[in-house]
Amino acid sequence: MNQSDKAWLAGLSAMALWIWARDLAWLSQAAGTLPILVSLAWFTWLVSPWQLATTRRPISMLPLAASALLIVTGTISNLTILLAIAWALGLQAWINSRFQSQTRNKANRLLLLTVMAFPWMALDGDLVSTIFRLSAAQFSESIFSFIGFAVERSGTNLWIQGLPVTVNEACSGLGVLQAAMIAGVVLLEALVSKNNHFWMQVPLLIVAAWTANALRVIVISIAALTWGTEFAAGPFHTWGGMGVLLVVFSLSWGLIEWQQKRTTS
C-alpha cells in the first residue's frame, strides 16, 4: 500500500475512534456492547484474500458526498447509526478504488458488518428497547400463565408467583441483539453467499434475535424463581447474554436451512 492508502486508513481509524468516544453512554452496557467490535474482524476475514487491483480506480464522489452529509446530519441529530453508515461508505469508497472485483463484490455484500461495528443500537435504540422490553414482558406473561403460574403485568413489570420481575433497559439486550445480528450475517455468508438470497434472509435474523431475547427474559425469571433474585441479577444476568448468542446461532441456522429447503423444493 502507498502513502495515500495509509493516510486513508488512518483517517478511517481516527473517525472510528471518534464515533466510539463521542458518547460513552454505551459503557453502562459494556458487557453486551464491546463484543460488537468483533464485527470488523469478521469483515476482514470473510472478505479475504484482499486482492489489490493492478491499477487504482478513481474514488467515487457519490459515496463520499453521502458520507459527508451523514456525518453532518448524524452529528447534529446525535444519531450514531448515521455516523456508522457514513464510516462504512468511506470504507466502501476506498475498497472499490483499490481492490479487484472479487474482493469488491464480497466487501460490498458484507458492508453491513462494518455498520454493525459501532454502538448505535445501545445509543440510539430507545424505541427498539421499548418494543423489545414490552413485547418480551408480554410474551413472558403468556408463557408463565400457560404453564400455570400466577402472573400479573403492568407495562414491563411482572409479578410471577408474587416475585417482582422488571424487564428494564439491561434486559432489552440491545448490545446482545446487535452482536446476534453480526453472528447472523456471518452465518448467512457461510450458507447463502453463492446465491441471490443473501439479503432476503436478513429479516429472518430479526425474528431469531427477538425470540432469543424473549427467551433470555424467561430464563432469568426462572432463575430468580428457583435460586433467588440475587443470583439472577448477578453474573448469571451478564453471562446470560452469551447464551442468547448461542440461541441465535441455532435459531438462525434452523431458519435459514428451512428457507433454503423451501426455495429449492
Q: Which three cell numbers stand for residue 27?
A: 459503557
AA letter at 169: E
* Residue 165 sits in the same domain as residue 194: yes
pLDDT tens digit sequence for 149-176: 888 888 888 888 888 887 766 555 566 6
* Residue at a domain's end among 88, 123, 158: 123
**In the chain, where does DSSP find H-type helix?**
3-21, 30-33, 38-47, 61-77, 80-98, 101-109, 111-115, 120-124, 126-146, 174-192, 198-227, 229-233, 235-264
Residue 189 and residue 90 in one domain: no
34-87 tens-digit pLDDT: 778 888 988 998 888 899 888 888 888 888 999 999 999 999 999 999 999 999
Sign of CA dihedral 96, 102, 108, 112: negative
| Mean of pLDDT values over 107-136 | 83
Please state, as a whole number, how many other Cβ atoms lie within 10 Å of the Cβ of residue 161.
10
Residues 151 and 82 in one domain: no
Count of domains for the chain: 2
8 and 58 share one domain: yes
User: Do residues 129 and 260 share a domain?
Assistant: yes
Same domain, 118 and 147: no
> Which residues span the domain enclosing 167?
125-264
What is the average per-residue pLDDT within 5-10?
88
Question: By the 8 A CB rule, do 231 and 238 touch?
Answer: no
Asked if residue 119 and residue 166 are part of one domain, the reply reads no
Do 138 and 251 have their domain in common? yes
- What pairs with residue 163 in β-bridges? 160
pLDDT over 80 at 104, yes or no: yes
239 pLDDT exceeds 80? no
Per the structure block, which three cell numbers stand in for 147?
404453564
Q: What single DSSP character describes residue 52?
A: B
pLDDT score recorded for residue 11: 93
- Per residue in 197-206, pLDDT tens? 555 666 666 7
Number of neighbours of residue 177 by Cβ within 10 angstroms: 27
- 87 and 148 housed in the same domain: no
Query: Mean pLDDT of all residues in the chain?
Result: 80
| In the block, residue with C-alpha cell 400463565 | 145
Q: Are residues 131 and 235 in the same domain?
A: yes
Domain end residue (candidates: 71, 91, 123): 123
The pLDDT score that the predictor gives to residue 88 is: 95
Please identify which residue in the block is written with the cell numbers 400457560. Answer: 146
Q: Are residues 22 and 91 in the same domain?
A: yes
Say yes or no: 112 and 129 in one domain. Answer: no
